[in-house]
Amino acid sequence: MARNGDVVLITGGSGFLGQHLVKHLQENDDDVKEIRIVDLKPYRNNLKHAETKPIKSIVADICDTDAVGEAFDNVDVVFHCAAYINFQFPPNINELERVNVNGTKNVINLCIKHNVPRLIYTSSASVTLTSYLGLAPFAVIVNLTESKTKQVTSDNDILIPGYSVTKHRAEKIVLGANGTNLANGTGELLTTSIRPTVLYGEEDPYFFPTLAKFTKKTGGIIPKVLGAGGKHQMTYVGNVAWAHIRAKQTLKNSSKNIAGLPVFVTDDTPIEDTSRFCQRMSRRTDAFNIRPTSWSIPSLIGYWLAILLELIISTLNPIFGTKLNFQPRALAAYAGSLLQYSRLRAELHMDYEPIYNEERSLDDSVKWYSAWYKSYFNKDKQSKKAE
């Protein structure tokens, strides 16, 4: 442990990505002397990694300046991972705006007030999902760098409303704050934004668990309701955490490379539609069996059905409070999109390379997913028996 190393603060450090980021700071970053975590949940070492550096866990809301302010004292770098991740329909706009946008403004203001020189924001590649040719209900992104993706000028440009819109708005604020003078007048705030694709891996509470709960009701089948489906790039969470470490070092030693810029982060996970990816994971375990249907509903029909479903829910919601756990048109847009991002900026300017190859990423993930699957559905069976 470096005696004169960095004091690091992670917002959302108890969460999915945060857990892996803490692991890398503990095991693979000799330039850290203390780790602080701000989260709504107390931090627990769920990944069971070695702990050689002190960790301080602060249970608080990032929107509560009084509760989190002290955590920023004498901090050298902030990883802002905390976010409200929710894709329900109708979107919970107020909470998305409160946490993702206003919470981010709060983090920036605290960095300036407490003279924190570096801020790394966890964004999402979904902020670039815009309509192909401005007409199609899906996106086509093929080997594009950050500057080549379509520049978003309006919230309506983004195909996934709510979450992705507020993440884009927050990202603009973070990158716009780059170069802001710190309160003591002796330096500037340097910022960058990491844009990973959809994450998978240990401690995942979103991607696989959501699909698993759905397919448990369908006998393991994922209906292909939008044609043959698009192609999607997914990234192992451990590699994304490592990219954050590389961003930290780059802002410290070669800040001009990424300061004020977004950075796509991917790895060597094959690009395929989500249902096929889940099927490939299933073949590595006997814990679950997930597979797509051999048939499919044409994408245009599927998209119009999504519009119809949204109209029905929008009519019922004011009267009965009816909601869906997913956004029909957003799901249709993602499922039908072709998404392949170039990580050239990360490689050239952050010296980033995935440290987990495809086999290791899938093996570690499947091992955790299998244990989660057995544990979750065994508990579900036991609770039903108790009733």
The predicted structure's pLDDT at residue 28: 92
The predicted structure's pLDDT at residue 357: 96
**CATH superfamily, with its number, for domain 6-279+335-375:** NAD(P)-binding Rossmann-like Domain (3.40.50.720)
Q: Of 120, 109, 107, 5, nearest to 54 (Cα)?
A: 5
The predicted structure's pLDDT at residue 298: 83
Q: How far apart are CA 13 and CA 46, in angstroms?
A: 12
Segment 127-141 shows an average pLDDT of 89
Segment 122-151 shows an average pLDDT of 91
Q: Which helix (H) or strand (E) holds 34?
A: strand 32-39
The predicted structure's pLDDT at residue 383: 55
The predicted structure's pLDDT at residue 186: 86
Segment 273-288 shows an average pLDDT of 90
Q: Where are the domains of the chain?
A: 6-279+335-375
The predicted structure's pLDDT at residue 3: 56
Tokens of 287: 């814990």
The predicted structure's pLDDT at residue 299: 80
Segment 354-361 shows an average pLDDT of 96
The predicted structure's pLDDT at residue 302: 85
pLDDT-based confidence at residue 136 (cuts at 50, 70, 90):
confident
Q: Does the pLDDT at position 246 exceed 80?
A: yes
Q: Of 301, 324, 305, nearest to 313 (Cα)?
A: 324
The predicted structure's pLDDT at residue 153: 87
Lowest mean pLDDT among 117-126, 257-266, 295-304: 295-304
Q: Does the pLDDT at position 164 exceed 80?
A: yes
Segment 341-361 shows an average pLDDT of 97
40-92 pLDDT, tens digit per residue, is 999 999 999 999 999 999 999 999 999 999 999 999 999 999 999 999 999 99
The predicted structure's pLDDT at residue 1: 45
Tokens of 208: 């696989």
191-207 pLDDT, tens digit per residue, is 999 999 999 999 999 99
Strands 188-196 and 180-181: antiparallel
Segment 95-102 shows an average pLDDT of 97
> How many other CB atoms are there within 10 angstroms of residue 215's CB atom?
20
Tokens of 66: 């009084």
The predicted structure's pLDDT at residue 201: 97
Q: Please measure the distance between the N-terminal and C-terminal CA atoms of the chain and give it in whole angstroms.
A: 52
Tokens of 53: 């550096």
What percent of the chain is modeled with pLDDT above 90?
76
Lowest mean pLDDT among 3-12, 66-75, 227-236: 227-236
Segment 309-322 shows an average pLDDT of 94
Place of tokens 């708005």: 169
